[in-house]
């Protein structure tokens, strides 16, 4: 799935490339795990318009994702 396709599925959400989140992972080193290399995109809960809609959209489009928590107990969705 491309960034453009994801943007069309989730038009109101900030979708980031994991590779562009180096500062975030430097500030939260416990969240960076080697398995993240298997994912390309990340969405942070604090930028989400409708959390449940994102999960529903990802599921309905058979997009594999994982949910992690940051140091403030906010969700991070990787896919």
Q: Which residue has the higher pLDDT, 12 or 72?
A: 12
Whole-Å CA distances, 56 to 33, 59, 76: 25, 5, 15
pLDDT at 3: 93
Q: Where are the alpha helices (DSSP H) in 1-79?
A: 3-9, 22-27, 51-60
pLDDT at 23: 84
Q: Where are the domains of the chain?
A: 3-78
Residues 26-73 have pLDDT tens digits of 888 877 777 778 889 999 998 998 899 999 999 999 999 999 887 788
pLDDT at 10 over 90: yes
pTM: 0.81
CB 32 within 8 A of CB 25: yes
Q: Report whether 78 contacts 39 (CB < 8 A).
A: yes
């Amino acid at each position: 799935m491309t960034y453009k396709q994801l943007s069309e599925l989730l038009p109101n959400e900030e979708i980031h490339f994991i590779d562009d989140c180096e500062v975030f992972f430097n500030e939260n080193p416990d969240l960076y795990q080697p398995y993240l290399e298997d994912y390309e995109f990340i969405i942070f809960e604090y930028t989400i318009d409708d959390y449940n809609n994102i999960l529903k959209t990802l599921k309905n489009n058979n997009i594999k994702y994982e949910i992690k928590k940051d140091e403030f107990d906010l969700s991070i969705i990787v896919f």
